[in-house]
Every structure is written in structure tokens, then in C-alpha cells.
Amino acid sequence: MITLNQLGKTFGTAMAVEDVSLTVPEGAFLVLLGPSGCGKTTILRMLAGLEHPTQGIIRFGDTVVADAGRGFTLEPGRRNAGLVFQSYALWPHMTVSGNVEWPLRVANLNREERRARVAEALEMLGVAKLANRYPGEISGGQQQRVAIARMIAPRPRVLLFDEPLSNLDATLRVEMRTELLRVHRATGATAVYVTHDQIEAMTMATHVAVMNGGKVEQFDTPQRLLSDPASAFVARFIGTPPANLIPVQDGSWFGMMPCAALRGASGHGMIRAEDLMLANAPEPGVIAANLVEVVPMAGRRLVTGLVQGQRLTAVTDPHSPLPADLHFRLPLAAAAIFDVQGRRVI
């Protein structure tokens, strides 16, 4: 449904998005995931037509909506796409129903059709009882529901979400994730969702594009990102807790503990938190650490220590005693090895 071909965007001399190519199947839920400044919102704004690419092509199905080479950009109102902003962006002088009806008026739908679609959208988002209230009279969570209702009322083929849950409290974010997935399934549209929250990405997405420095580090399913990270950045960014990346020098952990399984590599070896064990005393394969924190989490205990300035986290039994002096037992082999540029080599 959505195809990006060598998409790029510069602001002056700064490259915000560089050579992004990916294809999103119809009905998929794509999450653009990454830290602030990585280019994810810029891509979303180019999909919406609010920014023009400086290179590359964007297609919605068989329709080219932007082609930098030809200097062509289809105006936002003709893309059959809906957008929800982080700030809700509701008209304060219009009622809830008036806000939802507004894009239908712009589309010149007749009164009966407008009323039917407004009622359908408000009912789907569970805010039908608020139809006659104004945005200032309802909560932030309710305003977000209204903003989503306004987006889906015109029945767009593409749904665009710009960090729509970041202004909500933790409990409400969980509830709204469920609502967004329900709306996505009900509409059958293709969704693109921007967030820096990996939990949102891993629980909602069918596909995830992990971004860093304007580029896509890996475009994959949530499970593959966890099981088979393509770069050191992805390994660090994905997972709760993320994998441990331990410096490797000439086949030795921390440059001082030789390991034949590292095959003489230099860079970083990836050890999953569940594969890192606690030990009681120094011995071969065991390294001393300074305790940083102990965090209970979902029936587990995360123990984090500092080794040569490097944070290492182990998943442990919450009922097992914690050693007085923290030591970690390193496994015989790494789950993956990345070179000094962060590229996966094993």
C-alpha cells in the first residue's frame, strides 16, 4: 500500500532523512521507531504532504503522491490519508461533533451522510455521549479519541499517527493502544505510527522501521528485531531490558578475557540479559562489577552492574540471594557480534 523509494529530505545543509526505501503491505500497522531527531516525524510529514521530499518517490498503492525528481507533490487533501497530531489540534470553538464533521464538510458530503459518519465515528471511539461538548470541557484522553474519530470519519486508506499517546498518563496510554488497534482492524486501513516508545512499537506493530540518524537501521517484524538485530544500534535500542553489548578486542571480552568463540573479532559481542549469570567469586569467565541497581519486573529481577564503564544487566530469580560482591559470568559465545562500525558480522 505504501512504497518509499530512496526517500530523502534536507533542511538547508542538514540531512534529516537519507535514502529510505521500504514497502508496507495493505492493512499493515507500520511503526517508525527511534530517538528524537532520527527523521521519523519528517517521514510521516512527507507521507501526509506537509513536507516535500528532496529526493525519492512515495507511492500509495499505484498512485504516486510525491516524486522529487519530477518536482511533483500531490496536495494533502487528495491523498486519502488522515493524520492525528500529538497535540490533538481540535477546534476549540466547535463541539465534538462539529470537529468530527468538519473534514466531511470540506469533502462536500451531504448532510445525511455527514451525520451518519459522525455518529459512526463517535460510537466507534466511545465518545458519542460527548457530541455536544466543546474540547475544553473534556479530558485529554477524550480529546484524543475525538481527534481519532475526526481522522477516520472520511474513511481514509492511510492512517497517520504522530506520537498520539505521548501526552497521556501511563494507564491511559495502555487503554488507548488497545483502542487504536481496534480502530485499525475495524477500518482495514494501512497505518503509520511514529513513536520513540519501543513498548508501543512492539505491542502494536506488524512492521517496524528502526531509525537512526535519518536512516533505517532495520525494517522487520517486532519478533525479528528482538531475535535477529541487524546492527548494534538495534540491539541496544530494542528489548526490555535491551541486550548487553560488551566491548570485544581481538577476540577477548573487554580486551582481557579471551574467548575462542569470538573468532578474533573486535567490536561488540551481544549477550542477552537472560544469558548473563551472576557468580559468587572470581574465576575463569567471571568478571567483577559495581552494583548499579536492582529492579523487580514482572516476576523477575533485573540486576545491573558497571564493568569498565559498561552497564551490564542480568535477568535473575527474584528469590535467589544477591551476592555481597557482584560478579557476572560471561557465556562461552555471543548471540551476535558487531564490528567497530556497528554492523553485524556474526
CA distances from 6 to 26, 59, 231, 248 (A): 20, 12, 20, 34
Residue 288: how many CA atoms within 13 Å on its side-chain side? 5
> pTM for the full model?
0.93
Give the total residue count for the chain. 346
Tell me if 166 sits within 8 A of 136, measured CB to CB.
Answer: no
Domains within the chain, CATH numbers bracketed:
2-232 (3.40.50.300), 245-338 (2.40.50.140)
CA angle 192, 241, 287 (to 5 degrees): 150
pLDDT number for residue 261: 86
Cβ neighbours for 294, distance < 8 A, ≥ 6 positions apart: 301, 302, 303, 304, 322
Give dist(CA 33, CA 98) in Å, integer.
33
- 306: its cell numbers: 558497571
Cell of 20: 529510505
pLDDT < 70 positions in the chain: none
Closest CA to 225 of 215, 241, 237: 237
- The CA distance from 104 to 111, in Å, is 9
Peptide bond into 247 cis (omega under 30): no
Tens of pLDDT, residue by residue over 58-69, are: 999 999 999 999
pLDDT digits (tens, 9 = 90+) for 288-330: 999 999 999 999 999 999 999 999 999 999 999 998 899 999 9
